[in-house]
Chain A
């Protein structure tokens, strides 16, 4: 690509399919392409994008350029003895998984979809069901190559340049373009997990069970019925698991313990009516709770349905219809359990149907804009268009900010800029690093503009 490269004009949205904006999308096939794009950026700037699985507008850049990093998906080195992977930032978990598993390794952290790039998971510092045990993805990154407008291409490791590392991990793509990532993998003996499932009658029961037993498992997550109220407020199905050791597999599976198969369902068609509403959500929630065993121990199941239940039908986001949906994830520090209970009361009383609401416990986070902090996290899918949804979420945001919690920017599409500073107390520290690496604000995103991540200083001067 030369400086005159012309991309394709496209309307981009996040996975929630709200607020489309137009950008010129350019494929990046190597570091030279990224360099050229940064050097020739116009007034609306440049942003790297992977598979577009973030729900909100974090990977959009209205009127500017968007670098499609997915062609940069090569594996440069894989040390199967030590579990070290060096791969392009566009490499996807989906493509990496078969090879990693065959050698007895697994990503140390995986979000709820395998259709994510290494650059994407690191820029959003994603967490998985093992955050309480293992932290987020950045905690397993040995180093990455960062191409920034001010400093060119550099290798960034936590020990050698902690400021840049922790501003970029979770930095939403605004400190530079990551081109390569070195990741420390997790050793597994089999491609199965061994799962314990139990039902919790209400939110207090759930929290007690998680506090009591989460430390015994690598993975822990609870599905929670946000429509249940009164005595069953927060009734849940708690699922906890570990990678299955070889000796617990049935005899017939032991000679091929690392087999990895994917079962796929047909793609959701491009045009479907909205199938997700309050009635269907209520029925679904009821069914989900009832079908879960009251208590089940030691069930052995393959990795994919455990980690990626939503990846089976392609394009599940279309079920929410043309106007899309918002995903809302909040975290409240330990000690603020009453606020979590109050949030659930508001949700169950509001009639805003949430299909899949999830609760889990977090350990500490490290990136300046990273979402996780020690506490309880609640994630919700909410169809847009519901009456009063905006006000409900505003109310939740104020409660969360007031309790020292925050919402997840990788999923956000509607937070008020006023609450950003309270939720992310290290914002100014992040801004300093950003100013150093990108003083001319070449890297821009819609989320950046919407929340004023970098704009506040300029605005302050004008006003």
Chain B
């Protein structure tokens, strides 16, 4: 159960091998979380990370196999995790792929792979998760969106469109869950230094997985609906969103 100060006791991280997923798990454990379930495509590769979480105070770290693209496995996967661990206080959807924008613009298969993982995979996992959270009468669902979903930009609109779809899905989902005891927090980071973004030159306001993790934990604590990381990103994106198209098109972003 979440406690009176907003700390959770148990968390499931989908995309448990991702930099943001792991950073969040570490932050949660520092804030007294006892059970961490890391769901990843290759759980065996996370043995050291699991040991690290135990050293930091986690009582139970469970590594489970989860393939975001294997949509047909998601319902059974969610069922299994909740059956074995009981109540899960927080579910973080942290998986995603960036794709190669230049390739994806010309190769429909490449574009669809990005949409499949980031949008279909996420929606497919979120729906059974939410069913379980509803049934237990409490819980936080935290979904990693992106500032890239705020306005289509030529440099990343394939990735951006997948996050835009996910973001809108979760906005409506959050409203539909009012009164259910389940709360949805959408996290919109700017550029984050991670394995996924290593090939790209960092723009201004680039942030770190640790900063995103801290923002997630604080957002859950305060019951935020949308969390921008870093916080000023909110105003930057608000400005960009309202720029006239003719000007926006000329920006090198």
Point out residues on A near B: beta carbons under 8 Å.
9, 11, 16, 18-23, 44, 56-57, 61-64, 322-324, 326, 384-385, 389-390, 393-394, 412-414, 416-417, 446, 449-450, 455, 462-463
**Number of B residues, CB within 8 Å of A:** 26
Q: How far is the CB of B50 from the nearest CB of chain A, in Å? A: 15
Q: What is the number of contacts between chain A and chain B, taking CB atoms within 8 Å?
A: 86
Q: Please give, as numbers and ranges, the residues of chain A lying within 8 Å of B135 by CB-CB distance.
A: 44, 63
C-alpha spacing A64/B32, complex, angstroms:
26
Q: Please give, as numbers and ranges, the residues of chain A lying within 8 Å of B180 by CB-CB distance.
A: 9, 22
Q: Which of B1, B32, B136, B222 contacts A323 (CB 8 A)?
A: B222
On whether the beta carbons of B31 and A23 are closer than 8 Å, the reply is: no
Once A23-B137, A414-B3, A446-B1 are accepted as A-B contacts, the answer to whether A390 and B32 lie under 8 Å apart by CB is: yes
Once A19-B1, A413-B3 are accepted as A-B contacts, the answer to whether A450 and B138 lie under 8 Å apart by CB is: no
Q: Which of B163-184 contact A (CB under 8 A)?
A: 179-181
On whether the beta carbons of A389 and B136 are closer than 8 Å, the reply is: no
Q: How far is the CB of A131 from the nearest CB of chain B, in Å? A: 25
Q: Can you pick out 30 interface pairs between chain A and chain B where the beta carbons lie within 8 Å of each other?
A: A19-B2, A19-B3, A19-B4, A19-B6, A19-B138, A21-B138, A22-B138, A22-B179, A23-B137, A44-B137, A57-B1, A61-B137, A62-B87, A62-B138, A62-B181, A63-B135, A63-B136, A63-B138, A324-B4, A326-B4, A384-B5, A385-B221, A389-B5, A390-B31, A393-B5, A412-B4, A414-B3, A414-B5, A449-B86, A450-B1
C-alpha spacing A14/B167, complex, angstroms:
33
Q: How far is the CB of A413 from the nearest CB of chain B, in Å? A: 3
Point out residues on B near A: beta carbons under 8 Å.
1-7, 9, 31-32, 34, 60, 84, 86-87, 134-138, 179-181, 221-223
On whether the beta carbons of B181 and A22 are closer than 8 Å, the reply is: yes
Q: Which of A322, A389, A416 contacts B32 (CB 8 A)?
A: A416
On whether the beta carbons of B137 and A21 are closer than 8 Å, the reply is: yes
Q: How far is the CB of B123 from the nearest CB of chain A, in Å? A: 23
Q: Please give, as numbers and ranges, the residues of chain B lying within 8 Å of A326 by CB-CB distance.
A: 4-5
On whether the beta carbons of A57 and B87 are closer than 8 Å, the reply is: no
Q: How far is the CB of B180 from the nearest CB of chain A, in Å? A: 6
C-alpha spacing A389/B86, complex, angstroms:
28
On whether the beta carbons of A22 and B137 are closer than 8 Å, the reply is: yes
Q: Please give, as numbers and ranges, the residues of chain A lying within 8 Å of B60 by CB-CB distance.
A: 463
On whether the beta carbons of A57 and B181 are closer than 8 Å, the reply is: no
C-alpha spacing A20/B178, complex, angstroms:
12
Q: How far is the CB of A403 from the nearest CB of chain B, in Å? A: 22
For B178, the closest partner residue in chain A by CB is: A11
On whether the beta carbons of B1 and A62 are closer than 8 Å, the reply is: yes
For A417, the closest partner residue in chain B by CB is: B34
Q: Please give, as numbers and ranges, the residues of chain A lying within 8 Å of B138 by CB-CB distance.
A: 19-22, 62-63, 446
Once A44-B137, A416-B32 are accepted as A-B contacts, the answer to whether A449 and B1 lie under 8 Å apart by CB is: yes
Q: Please give, as numbers and ranges, the residues of chain A lying within 8 Å of B221 by CB-CB distance.
A: 385
Q: Which of B4, B5, B179 contacts A9 (CB 8 A)?
A: B179
Q: How far is the CB of B223 from the nearest CB of chain A, in Å? A: 8
Q: How far is the CB of B142 from the nearest CB of chain A, in Å? A: 17
C-alpha spacing A8/B5, complex, angstroms:
27
On whether the beta carbons of B137 and A62 are closer than 8 Å, the reply is: yes
C-alpha spacing A61/B136, complex, angstroms:
9
Q: Please give, as numbers and ranges, the residues of chain A lying within 8 Å of B6 by CB-CB distance.
A: 18-19, 384
For B4, the closest partner residue in chain A by CB is: A413
Q: Please give, as numbers and ranges, the residues of chain B lying within 8 Å of A57 by CB-CB distance.
A: 1, 4
Closest 8 CB pairs of A and B: A413-B4, A63-B137, A22-B181, A62-B137, A450-B1, A18-B4, A414-B3, A21-B138
For A327, the closest partner residue in chain B by CB is: B4
For A14, the closest partner residue in chain B by CB is: B4
Q: How far is the CB of A281 from the nearest CB of chain B, in Å? A: 18
Other A-B pairs beyond A9-B180, A324-B4, 7, CB < 8 Å: A56-B4, A62-B138, A326-B5, A390-B5, A413-B3, A413-B5, A449-B1
Once A22-B137, A62-B138, A390-B31 are accepted as A-B contacts, the answer to whether A384 and B4 lie under 8 Å apart by CB is: yes
On whether the beta carbons of A414 and B4 are closer than 8 Å, the reply is: yes
Q: Which of B3, B32, B181, B222 contacts A20 (CB 8 A)?
A: B181
Q: Which of A16, A394, A462 contacts B4 (CB 8 A)?
A: A16
Q: How far is the CB of B207 from the nearest CB of chain A, in Å? A: 21
Q: Please give, as numbers and ranges, the residues of chain B lying within 8 Å of A462 by CB-CB distance.
A: 84
Q: Please give, as numbers and ranges, the residues of chain A lying within 8 Å of B179 by CB-CB distance.
A: 9, 11, 22
Residue among B32, B138, B180 with most chain A CB within 10 A: B138
Q: Please give, as numbers and ranges, the residues of chain A lying within 8 Å of B222 by CB-CB distance.
A: 323, 385
For B31, the closest partner residue in chain A by CB is: A390
C-alpha spacing A16/B5, complex, angstroms:
11
On whether the beta carbons of B1 and A64 are closer than 8 Å, the reply is: no
Q: Please give, as numbers and ranges, the residues of chain A lying within 8 Å of B5 by CB-CB distance.
A: 18, 326, 384, 389-390, 393, 413-414
C-alpha spacing A62/B137, complex, angstroms:
5
Q: Please give, as numbers and ranges, the residues of chain B lying within 8 Å of A389 by CB-CB distance.
A: 5
C-alpha spacing A21/B221, complex, angstroms:
15
C-alpha spacing A385/B223, complex, angstroms:
12
Q: Which of B34, B86, B134, B137 contacts A64 (CB 8 A)?
A: B137
C-alpha spacing A416/B181, complex, angstroms:
22
Q: Which of B4, B34, B87, B181 contacts A449 (CB 8 A)?
A: B87
Q: Please give, as numbers and ranges, the residues of chain B lying within 8 Å of A416 by CB-CB distance.
A: 32
Q: How far is the CB of A353 from the nearest CB of chain B, in Å? A: 15
Q: How far is the CB of A323 from the nearest CB of chain B, in Å? A: 7
Q: Please give, as numbers and ranges, the residues of chain B lying within 8 Å of A20 by CB-CB distance.
A: 138, 181
On whether the beta carbons of B3 and A450 are closer than 8 Å, the reply is: yes
For B182, the closest partner residue in chain A by CB is: A22
Q: Which of B7, B86, B136, B137 contacts A414 (CB 8 A)?
A: B7
C-alpha spacing A450/B8, complex, angstroms:
10
For A56, the closest partner residue in chain B by CB is: B4
Once A19-B3, A384-B4 are accepted as A-B contacts, the answer to whether A11 and B181 lie under 8 Å apart by CB is: yes
Q: Please give, as numbers and ranges, the residues of chain A lying within 8 Å of B2 by CB-CB distance.
A: 19
Residue among B4, B6, B32, B84 with most chain A CB within 10 A: B4
Q: Please give, as numbers and ranges, the residues of chain B lying within 8 Å of A322 by CB-CB distance.
A: 223
Residue among B5, B7, B31, B32 with most chain A CB within 10 A: B5
Q: How far is the CB of A389 from the nearest CB of chain B, in Å? A: 6
On whether the beta carbons of B1 and A390 are closer than 8 Å, the reply is: no
For B136, the closest partner residue in chain A by CB is: A63
C-alpha spacing A285/B137, complex, angstroms:
39
C-alpha spacing A391/B5, complex, angstroms:
11
Q: How far is the CB of A229 from the nearest CB of chain B, in Å? A: 24
For A446, the closest partner residue in chain B by CB is: B1
Q: Please give, as numbers and ranges, the residues of chain B lying within 8 Å of A61 by CB-CB distance.
A: 137
